[in-house]
C-alpha cells in the first residue's frame, strides 16, 4: 500500500461514507481517521505476509 | 440458615451440595444473594436488571422438588447472572446499547440460560457490559461504568465487565459472559476470578446478541475451577439454533479435574506473549510456570500478525452487523464505538479476505505446535486493571492507548477458537490473570491444570477489599 496523506484518507472517508450511506459529521472525522489508520496499519501487517495462491480462507463454506 | 458461612460467599459447588442435602434451602441462598446485590451493587454497578420475583419462584420450585424427593440437577439452587446480551424472557436485551432499549422484550431465554436452569441454577439478573461488546474496559456511557471489586477506582475490564464485577465482588458465584477477542479473559484477569472461553462452537450462542459471528464465544466466570467445570458441563450440547454450534458429543470435564498434571507437557508461550508486559504480568506468568515446572519456551508463529488479523476481522464484521444502525441512529451510539465501527466499514474487502486466509494458515501452524505441547501458558493482560477513564499507559518506554492494547495477548488465541482458562494470580494490591491454552476440544486439559494451580494456592480468587 502506498504512502498516503491525511487529506487522501479524508477524501477516502468521504467517498466511502457516501457510497455506504453513512452520515459522517466533521467533528467525528479525526477519530474515524485515527481508527481507520490503525485498521489499515494492522491490515498491512497481514497483507505483507505472503501466502500461496491456493490458500483457503478460514470461512470456507461447506455445502 | 444452618450454615455459619454466608451463602453469598460460597462457591456454586458448595451451594449445590448444601441445597441438595437440605442444609440450606434454595430460597435462603437466593435471599442472601439478593441482599448482597442490594448491599454492594450501588458501588460496583454490575447489574442492569435484577429479577427477584421470578428467581424466588424458581428457588421455591427447587425446594419443593427436593422435599418431594425429585432429582434437581448438579447446580441446584445456584444463583447466576448473565451479561445483558443474553436474551432473558421478559427483559429487553440491551447489549450495552441505548439503541437496543427500543427492542421488544425477549420471548424466550437464551439456550445457555435454559441449560443452566435445567441443571437447577437460578437466574437472578442481567449484567452491565461495554456497548455492543466492542470494549475491553467495562466502561459504558449509558449504564455507567462497571467498577472493580478490588479497587472501585479501577476498570473491571470488558466487555463482560458486570460479569467480572459480580463474581469478583461476590454478588453471584457464577456469571456468563461472551468473549470475541478476550471479553471473558480480560475481566477475569482484572477482577481476580477464573474465566473459561471454550473452543469455538462448543457452547450455543442461540438467542444472544452477536458481535463478530466468526469470533463470538460464550462461557462462564467463577471463583473456583469446580464451578467453571460444573457450569460448562451443564451448558454443553448441540443446538440447531446456532449455526456454529458443534454436533460433537458432550464431553464432561468435572470427572477429570482431580487427575492432576502428571504426564502433561506444559510450555510457556514465547515471542509476542513475552513482549508488551508490565512487571506484574511477568511475575504472574513466572509463578504459574514455576508451579507447573514449565521451563520450555515455545514460539507461537506469527502471533502478532494473528492479533492484527483478528482486529481487522472484528472491526469489519462488527461494522457490517451495525451498518443500518450507523446509517439511521449514529447519534445514539457511544461516540467511541460509533467511530470505530464507521472506520471498520471502510476497510477494503481484499484486506479482510487476506485476514481470513491468514487465519487458516495460522490455525494449521498452531495445531502443529499442539502435537508436542498439551498446555501453553501466556499472560491474560499486559497489566493489572488500569484506572477507570485511563486513556494511555507507558509500556517499554512507549505511550500506548489502553483500550487497544489490553487484549493483545488474548486476541491471537480466540482468533482460532482455542479453549482457554484464565486463572487469577492473587498479587497485591491487585490480582492479574494468566491464560492456560490447549488444542481445540481439550477443555479438560486446561481445567485440570487450573485445578492443580488452585490446589497449590498459586491461583485463587482473592476477597474484595473495602466493599
Average pLDDT, chain B: 97
- The whole-angstrom distance between A44's CA and the closest CA on chain B is 8
Exposure class string for B280-298: b at 16+ Cβ within 10 A, else e: bbeebbebbbebbebeeeb
Tell me which of B25, B58, B83, B189 is the catalytic residue: B83
DSSP letter (8 states) at residue B22: T
Question: Does the annotation count B83 as an active-site position?
Answer: yes
Evaluate the CA torsion angle B291, B297, B298, B300 in order and state its sign: positive
Q: What is the pLDDT of residue A3?
A: 63
Best probe of the B interface among A11, A44, A45, by most B CBs < 10 A, is A45
Give the cell for residue B313.
476481522
Q: What is the percentage of chain B residues whose pLDDT exceeds 70?
A: 99
pLDDT band at residue B119 under the 50/70/90 scheme: very high
**A to B CB pairs, distance under 8 Å:** 103
Contact yes or no for B361 and A55 at CB 8 A: yes
Check pLDDT > 80 for residue A62: no
pLDDT band at residue B400 under the 50/70/90 scheme: confident
Contact list, A32 vs chain B (CB under 8 Å): 339, 342-343, 346
Terminal-residue alpha carbon distance, chain A: 35
Q: How far is CA B188 from CA B44, B137, B214, B253, B313, in A?
A: 15, 12, 22, 20, 24
Contact yes or no for B353 and A12 at CB 8 A: no
Check pLDDT > 50 for residue B1: no
Contact list, A18 vs chain B (CB under 8 Å): none
Taking the C-alpha atoms of residue B100 and residue B87, their distance in angstroms, rounded to an integer, is 12
C-beta atoms surrounding A54 within 10 Å: 6
Nearest residue of B to residue A23, measured between CA atoms: B327
Check pLDDT > 80 for residue B66: yes
What is the per-residue pLDDT across B424-442, written as a single tens digit (0 to 9) for each? 999 999 999 999 999 999 9
Q: Is B351 in CB contact (< 8 Å) with chain A?
A: yes
**What are the extents of the domains in chain B?**
7-456
CATH number of the domain at B7-456, please?
Answer: 3.90.1300.10
Taking the C-alpha atoms of residue B179 and residue B185, their distance in angstroms, rounded to an integer, is 7
Q: Is B43 in CB contact (< 8 Å) with chain A?
A: no
Question: Does the annotation count B183 as an active-site position?
Answer: yes
Check pLDDT > 60 for residue B328: yes
Check pLDDT > 50 for residue B126: yes
Tell me which of B146, B159, B163, B414 is the catalytic residue: B159
Contact yes or no for B345 and A49 at CB 8 A: no
Nearest residue of B to residue A11, measured between CA atoms: B346
Contact yes or no for B312 and A42 at CB 8 A: yes
For B151-191, what is the HEC assignment?
A: ECCECCCCCCHHHHHHHHCCCCCEEEEEECCCCCHHHHHHH
Q: Does residue B280 sit in helix, strand or coil?
A: helix
Q: Is B227 in CB contact (< 8 Å) with chain A?
A: no
Of A24, A31, A58, the CB nearest to B363: A58
What is the per-residue pLDDT across A29-46, written as a single tens digit (0 to 9) for each? 999 999 999 999 999 999
Q: What is the ipTM of this complex?
A: 0.94
Nearest CA among B182, B358, B368, B382 for reference residue B272: B382
Give the cell for residue B461.
480468587
Exposure class string for B115-144: b at 16+ Cβ within 10 A, else e: bbbebbbbbbbbbbbbbbbbbbbbbbebbe
pTM of the full structure: 0.97
Contact yes or no for A22 and B342 at CB 8 A: yes
Nearest CA among B222, B223, B233 for reference residue B256: B233
Amino acid at each position: 500500500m502506498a504512502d498516503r496523506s491525511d487529506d487522501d484518507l479524508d477524501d477516502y472517508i468521504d467517498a466511502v461514507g457516501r457510497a455506504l450511506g453513512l452520515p459522517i459529521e466533521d467533528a467525528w472525522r479525526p477519530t474515524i481517521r485515527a481508527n481507520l489508520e490503525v485498521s489499515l496499519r494492522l491490515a498491512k501487517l497481514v497483507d505483507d505476509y505472503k501466502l500461496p495462491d491456493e490458500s483457503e480462507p478460514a470461512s470456507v463454506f461447506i455445502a | 440458615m444452618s450454615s455459619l458461612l454466608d451463602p453469598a460467599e460460597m462457591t456454586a459447588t458448595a451451594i449445590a451440595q448444601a441445597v441438595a442435602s437440605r442444609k440450606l434451602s434454595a430460597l435462603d441462598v437466593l435471599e442472601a444473594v439478593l441482599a448482597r446485590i442490594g448491599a454492594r451493587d450501588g458501588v460496583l454497578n454490575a447489574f442492569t436488571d435484577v429479577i427477584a420475583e421470578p428467581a424466588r419462584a424458581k428457588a421455591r420450585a427447587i425446594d419443593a422438588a427436593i422435599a418431594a424427593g425429585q432429582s434437581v440437577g448438579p447446580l441446584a439452587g445456584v444463583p447466576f447472572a448473565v451479561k445483558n446480551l443474553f436474551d432473558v424472557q421478559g427483559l429487553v436485551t440491551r447489549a450495552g446499547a441505548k439503541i437496543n432499549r427500543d427492542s421488544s422484550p425477549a420471548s424466550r431465554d437464551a439456550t445457555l440460560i435454559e441449560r443452566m436452569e435445567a441443571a437447577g441454577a437460578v437466574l437472578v439478573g442481567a449484567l452491565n457490559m461495554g456497548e455492543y461488546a466492542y470494549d475491553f474496559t467495562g466502561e459504558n456511557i449509558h449504564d455507567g461504568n462497571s467498577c472493580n471489586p478490588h479497587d472501585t477506582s479501577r476498570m473491571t475490564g470488558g466487555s463482560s465487565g458486570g460479569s467480572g464485577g459480580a463474581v469478583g465482588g461476590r454478588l453471584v458465584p457464577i456469571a456468563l459472559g461472551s468473549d470475541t477477542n478476550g471479553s471473558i479473559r480480560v475481566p477475569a484477569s482484572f477482577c481476580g476470578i477464573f474465566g473459561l472461553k471454550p473452543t469455538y462452537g462448543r457452547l450455543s450462542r442461540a438467542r444472544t446478541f452477536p458481535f463478530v459471528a466468526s469470533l463470538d464465544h460464550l462461557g462462564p466466570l467463577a471463583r473456583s475451577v469446580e464451578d467453571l467445570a460444573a457450569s460448562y458441563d451443564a451448558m454443553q450440547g448441540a443446538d440447531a439454533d446456532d449455526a456454529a454450534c458443534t454436533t460433537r458429543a458432550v464431553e464432561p470435564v468435572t470427572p477429570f479435574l482431580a487427575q492432576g498434571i502428571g504426564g502433561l507437557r506444559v510450555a510457556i508461550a514465547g515471542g509476542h506473549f513475552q513482549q508488551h508486559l508490565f512487571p506484574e504480568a511477568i511475575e504472574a506468568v513466572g509463578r504459574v510456570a514455576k508451579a507447573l515446572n514449565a521451563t520450555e519456551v515455545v514460539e507461537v508463529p506469527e502471533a502478532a500478525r494473528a492479533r492484527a488479523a483478528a482486529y481487522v476481522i472484528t472491526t469489519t464484521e462488527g461494522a457490517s452487523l451495525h451498518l443500518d444502525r450507523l446509517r439511521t441512529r449514529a447519534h445514539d451510539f457511544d461516540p467511541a464505538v460509533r467511530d470505530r465501527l464507521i472506520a471498520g466499514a471502510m476497510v477494503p474487502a481484499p484486506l479482510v479476505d487476506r485476514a481470513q486466509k491468514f487465519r487458516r494458515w495460522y490455525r494449521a501452524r498452531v495445531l502443529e505446535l499442539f502435537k508436542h505441547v498439551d498446555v501453553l501458558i501466556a499472560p491474560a493482560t499486559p497489566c493489572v486493571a488500569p484506572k477507570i477513564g485511563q486513556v494511555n499507559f507507558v509500556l517499554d518506554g512507549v505511550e500506548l492507548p489502553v483500550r487497544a492494547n489490553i487484549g493483545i495477548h488474548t486476541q491471537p488465541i480466540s482468533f482460532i477458537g482455542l479453549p482457554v482458562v484464565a486463572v487469577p494470580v492473587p498479587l497485591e494490591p491487585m490480582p492479574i490473570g494468566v491464560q492456560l491454552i490447549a488444542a481445540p476440544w481439550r477443555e479438560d486439559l486446561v481445567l485440570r491444570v487450573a485445578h492443580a494451580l488452585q490446589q497449590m494456592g498459586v491461583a485463587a480468587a482473592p476477597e474484595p477489599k473495602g466493599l
